[in-house]
Amino acid sequence: MKKIRWGIVGPGEIANKFAKAIKNVKEASLVAVASRSEDKGKAFAEKYDIEKVFCGYEAMAESDAVDAVYIATPHPFHKPCAELFLNFGKHVLCEKPICVNAKEAEALSICAGKNNVFLMEAMWTRFIPSIIKVQEIVRSGVIGEVRGIDASFCYASSIEEEAKLFQNDMAGGSLLDVGVYGLHFVSLFLGNNPISVSAEAIVEDGCDCITNVLLRYERGAIASVSSATKLQKPADAYIYGTKGHIYLPHFYGAQEFFVRCGEEETKITAPSLGDGFEEEIIEACSCIEHGKLESKMLPHAESIAMLRLMDNIREKIGVKYPFD
């Protein structure tokens, strides 16, 4: 297999994790980085031994040096950046959420299809071994029928630490930043079409700082998802069944989990290859190699459904962005 040549768009904090992980993927090579800041791009390239530095995203899009890109820009720039590269025939792995609303995601899916190139949301949680294993166990019926799920991803930050989280025009707030993990997790076991959605939030300056979501499903299950940027809470998840339950510490990047049925508890370890990003890169490379336009593990429809759900939640808590 010929190595797929990757470029990073936007050398921010999350891009560091991708740059480290891709070195562990034999099917890929990191050959370029694009930044609006030449100094920032050069510093990132030097840190990770990247050959090419592009000052401006357009320059990378026009180049024949890369086959695929990982988009790590802030939320509002996901769609325009992805469209730019898709239109130049580049495959795209875009950091979560793939767009800020469902309308944008639908347009991006159409754009990828027109250009006959691969597009996937970089929701790395869906690809790590522990989550794959939990899905297998749930399907086996060990814990019975799933009747409830709790998933929390909360942390306390400040405008001084990460300003964009608290800016409405940057699609700030906890829901799109970390609530998306819990919603994706729930959808793996209960689907992406709840029959009832309720939500409460603390909203400041147009950004949700603390959000609690309750979802009810036709199959007789209720899920609770909480997210926050101004609250410390364990980032854990529970899946409750009619015969037992599964507990996942740090569910979004879990390396181990616990299955309890009656008085018996089993600890299962399923480590990732590295920092957790390797598996999604491997999936993207495999899809590109085989000429697929989307991944069966995370198809466009699933990403769109998650954004449609978040659109619904934002409407209920009164969060509206300028680009909605």
31 phi, psi to nearest 5 deg = -115, -10
> What is the CA angle 27-35-113, rounded to 5?
55
pLDDT at 2: 83
> What is the CA angle 162-35-324, rounded to 5?
60
CATH number 3.40.50.720 given to 4-124: yes
Least Cα distance to 100 among 260, 295, 253, 306 occurs for 306
Q: What is the mean pLDDT of residues 152-178?
A: 96
Whose structure tokens read 């409830």? 148
Q: Residue 185 corresponds to which tokens in the numbers above?
A: 């997790």
205-251 pLDDT, tens digit each: 999 999 999 999 998 999 999 999 999 999 999 999 999 999 999 99
218-227 pLDDT, tens digit each: 989 999 999 9
pLDDT at 258: 98
- Cβ atoms of residues 86 and 117 within 8 Å: yes
Q: What is the mean pLDDT of residues 88-112?
A: 98
* R_g of the chain, CA atoms, integer Å: 19
- The band of 136, judged by pLDDT with boundaries at 50, 70 and 90, is very high
Asked whether the CA dihedral 192, 193, 199, 204 is positive or negative, the reply is positive
pLDDT at 270: 97
pLDDT at 149: 98
Q: What is the mean pLDDT of residues 140-155?
A: 98
Least Cα distance to 35 among 86, 1, 5, 69 occurs for 69
Q: Is 318 left (phi over 0), alpha (psi -120 to 50) or beta?
A: left
3 in catalytic set = no
- Cβ atoms of residues 213 and 197 within 8 Å: yes
Domain with CATH 3.30.360.10 in the chain: 129-271+306-317
Domain with CATH 3.40.50.720 in the chain: 4-124
Residue 178 DSSP code: I
Q: What is the mean pLDDT of residues 141-163?
A: 96
pLDDT at 91: 98
Task: Please state, in angstroms and rounded to a whole number, the distance separating the CA atoms of residues 174 and 159.
Answer: 13
299-310 pLDDT, tens digit each: 999 999 999 999
User: Does the pLDDT value for residue 1 go beyond 90?
Assistant: no
Q: Are strands 119-122 and 91-95 parallel, antiparallel or unpaired?
A: parallel
- The band of 107, judged by pLDDT with boundaries at 50, 70 and 90, is very high
pLDDT at 219: 84
pTM of this prediction?
A: 0.96
10-53 pLDDT, tens digit each: 999 999 999 999 999 999 999 999 999 999 999 999 999 999 99
Task: Please state, in angstroms and rounded to a whole number, the distance separating the CA atoms of residues 168 and 152.
Answer: 23
In this structure, which CATH number among 3.30.930.10, 3.90.480.20, 3.30.360.10, 3.50.50.60 belongs to the domain 129-271+306-317? 3.30.360.10
Which of 23, 47, 79, 96 is the catalytic position? Answer: 96
Least Cα distance to 51 among 36, 68, 34, 37 occurs for 34
Task: Please state, in angstroms and rounded to a whole number, the distance separating the CA atoms of residues 283 and 300.
Answer: 14
Q: What is the mean pLDDT of residues 257-284?
A: 96
